Amino acid sequence: MPKQLVWFRNDLRTCDHTPLSEALLAAHKQNSDLVAAFIWSPAQLQQQGAGAPKLAAYQQALDALNEDLAALGVELQIITAPTWQQGVTDLIALCARLGVQDIYCHYEPGWDERLRDGQFHTQAPADLELHRSNDLYSAPPRQLLTQQGNFYKVFTPYKKNLLAQLLEGLVAPRPVPNNGFPALAVKPLALGERFIWSNPLQLPVLEQQAHERLDDFMAQMNDYRDLRDFPAQAGTSLLSTSLALGTLSSRQIIWTIAQHNGLNGDNTYLSEILWREFYKYLLAWQPELCLGQAFNKKWDHFPWRTDPVLLQRWQDGQTGVPIVDAAARQLNQTGWMHNRLRMVSAMYLVKILQVDWRQGEAWFARQLADFDFAANNGGWQWVASTGVDATPYFRIFNPHEQSRRFDPDGDFIRRYVPELAPLANKAIHQPTPELALQLGYPLPVADYKAARVDTLSKFKKLGQAYEQHN
């Protein structure tokens, strides 16, 4: 009879998985069996914003996890449910059927995730215990406070404190547990409808792919600072999908960086990993961010434009601004967008087209294989100036300048906006109306300069009104 159960969530790996290691240890001590479970609810994930690329990536990662667990002698049971609420009820029923007394899982900070765990506590019988490990984070959020005892709202001091803690006691990732259970035959998972995503960039999704990519990337980490802003170059790690699914843990990355370069606050790659943690840390303190709320209420009443046609043009890569359109088409074709372009594209939607950042956030969520609520919301609120440690409202990227700077030869634009390929490097960033018409490329949907002035004046007015009333 299995007595221990590992409840997998956004942690679809066997390496550095504390709940799995702890459950195996308990199973050995008590000479009992171990089973694993996952609540598969595409409808719930879609309601949270995810689209086909993320759902397909989930299915691929689950299939691989199923095989890896079978090799460890652990069966993965899929609980298919229309909602997590139903899934939790079914999980409790499964535990009753199998005689499970202890469930091991990771703590997750999001709003729905808290409701899910709260519901578990309400429904579960008293003798069914949930052991939650907190190592989604490299240091528990409650341990990272300002000198005044508040949570951090600025990244740099947060990072300093976190790094100091890591330097004091960096914990090595746990190896894949060696449990001595006989391997099981692999049974295919019943995951229902299969979602389609062709992954043309070959982003690492599975645990093994993520480990291989991480090792390869270490050889180019020193070039990251110089290359990471150029979308035509392969300068970034592409590990975001693995991190979003939890096929790779951030501790594994931090540990690997430490082995190669030590933990140094000047390491740009390490800083980006810590930005990711910062946004997750904020969710632990401010779960209301999941409800569409702006962190900084000052800009919450910006008079956003509601213009479905404009939004559609931006989504389709038909704004007439080449770098913005190339970015949108990269997203639509591959399920991923380069970080520099996420900023440029989001900034254009919010501060030039004056569309509510929440609409852009939802579109990215639906199209990205690496969709991660905390990082996506953090990124959008950074751009919109409503976020924690966000860019000031008056900082508005000029997309043409960004294009000249970060895609100087127009290689990236040519790749994704082939109709502009015949243009010379100088002309490709901002084609004249004559050239655009000749090549069948749309004219810009907005007058950049006028829109910028209008946005600045609206922000300024809003700021003044806010100061008067607060």
Ligand X SMILES: Cc1cc2nc3c(=O)[nH]c(=O)nc-3n(C[C@H](O)[C@H](O)[C@H](O)COP(=O)(O)OP(=O)(O)OC[C@H]3O[C@@H](n4cnc5c(N)ncnc54)[C@H](O)[C@@H]3O)c2cc1C
Active site residues: 272, 275, 304, 339, 357, 380
Distance CA 16, CA 227 (A): 30
Binder of ligand X out of 24, 163, 206, 383 (CB under 6 A): 383
* Contact (CB, 8 A) for 81 and 39: yes
Q: Is 372 in the site for ligand X (CB under 6 A)?
A: yes
Q: Does 371 bind ligand X (CB under 6 A)?
A: yes
Q: What's the burial of 303, exposed, middle or buried (CB within 10 Å: 0-12/13-18/19+)?
A: exposed
**214 close to 256: Cβ distance less than 8 angstroms:** yes
Quick one: which of 199, 219, 248, 257 has its CA closest to 372? 248
Query: Is the CB of 244 or the CB of 413 nearer to ligand X?
Result: 244
Of 448, 152, 220, 199, residue with least CA distance to 322: 448
The amino acid occupying position 327 is: A
Binding region for ligand X (CB under 6 A) out of 9-17, 25-33, 87-95, 270-278: 270-278
One residue of 4, 60, 209, 240 binding ligand X per CB under 6 A: 240
What is the number of alpha carbons within 13 Å of residue 249 lying toward its C-beta? 23
Stretch that binds ligand X, among 40-48, 235-243, 392-400, 462-470 (CB under 6 A): 235-243
Residues 278, 280, 286, 292, CA torsion sign: positive
For residue 18, the minimal CB distance to ligand X (Å) is 20
Counting residues that bind ligand X (by CB under 6 A) gives: 28
**CB 306, min distance to ligand X, A:** 20
Q: Please identify the residue of the shown chain whose CB is closest to the bound ligand X.
A: 379
Q: Which one of 89-97, 319-327, 337-345, 348-356 is the stretch in contact with ligand X (CB under 6 A)?
A: 337-345
Smallest gap, in angstroms, from Cβ of residue 241 to ligand X?
8
Q: How far is the CB of 230 from ligand X (least distance, A)?
A: 12
Cβ proximity of 234 and 201 under 8 Å:
no
Nearest-approach distance from CB 267 to ligand X, in angstroms:
12
State in angstroms the smallest separation of the CB of 242 from ligand X: 8
Is residue 243 near ligand X by the rule CB under 6 A?
A: yes
Which of 41, 376, 385, 430 binds ligand X (CB under 6 A)? It is 376
Binding of ligand X by 239 (CB under 6 A): yes
Q: Mark the segment that binds ligand X (CB under 6 A) among 168-176, 369-377, 390-398, 404-412.
A: 369-377
Work out how close the CB of 380 gets to ligand X at its nearest, in angstroms, rounded to a whole number. Answer: 5
Q: Does 232 bind ligand X (CB under 6 A)?
A: no
**Which residue of 41, 138, 237, 354 would you call a contact of ligand X, by CB under 6 A?**
237
Q: Quick one: which of 23, 88, 244, 284 contacts ligand X (CB under 6 A)?
A: 244
- Label residue 196 left, alpha or beta by phi (over 0 means left) and psi (-120 to 50 means alpha): beta
Q: How many beta carbons lie within 10 A of that of residue 52, not counting itself?
A: 17
Interface with ligand X, residue 342, by CB under 6 A: yes
Chosen residue from 75, 90, 272, 411 binding ligand X by CB under 6 A: 272
* 343 lies in the site for ligand X, by CB under 6 A: yes
CB contact at 8 A, 455 and 397: no
Q: Give me the least distance between CB of 460 and ligand X, in Å please.
A: 24
Site for ligand X, residues 418 to 457, rule: CB under 6 A: none
Of the candidate residues 368, 390, 420, 423, the single one contacting ligand X (CB under 6 A):
368
Q: In Å, what is the CA distance from 220 to each residue of 1, 204, 238, 260?
A: 49, 17, 13, 11
- How many CB atoms sit inside 10 A of residue 43's CB? 12
Q: Of the two residues 177 and 387, which places its CB atom closer to ligand X in the complex?
A: 387
C-alpha triplet 118, 279, 109: angle, nearest 5°: 10
- Give the position of tokens 């082939």: 418
d(CA 129, CA 95) in angstroms, rounded, equals 11
Residue 466, classified by CB atoms within 10 Å of its CB into exposed (0-12), middle (13-18) or buried (19+), is: middle
**Closer to ligand X by Cβ: residue 223 or 409:** 223
Candidates 112-120, 121-129, 273-281, 430-438; binding stretch for ligand X (CB under 6 A): 273-281
Q: In the set 246, 379, 399, 431, which binds ligand X (CB under 6 A)?
A: 379
Closest distance of CB 106 from ligand X, Å: 17
Angle between helices 308-316 and 322-334 (to 10 degrees): 70
What is the side-by-side order of every strand in the sheet holding 2-8? 75-80, 33-40, 2-8, 102-106, 129-133
Of 180-188, 308-316, 335-343, 434-442, which part binds ligand X (CB under 6 A)?
A: 335-343
Instruction: Supply the DSSP string of 228-279, one letter for each residue.
Output: TT-TTS--S---HHHHHHTSS-HHHHHHHHHHHH---TT-HHHHHHHHHHHH
Q: Which residues bind ligand X (CB under 6 A)?
A: 228, 236-240, 243-244, 272-273, 275-276, 279, 339, 342-343, 346, 364, 368, 370-372, 375-376, 378-380, 383
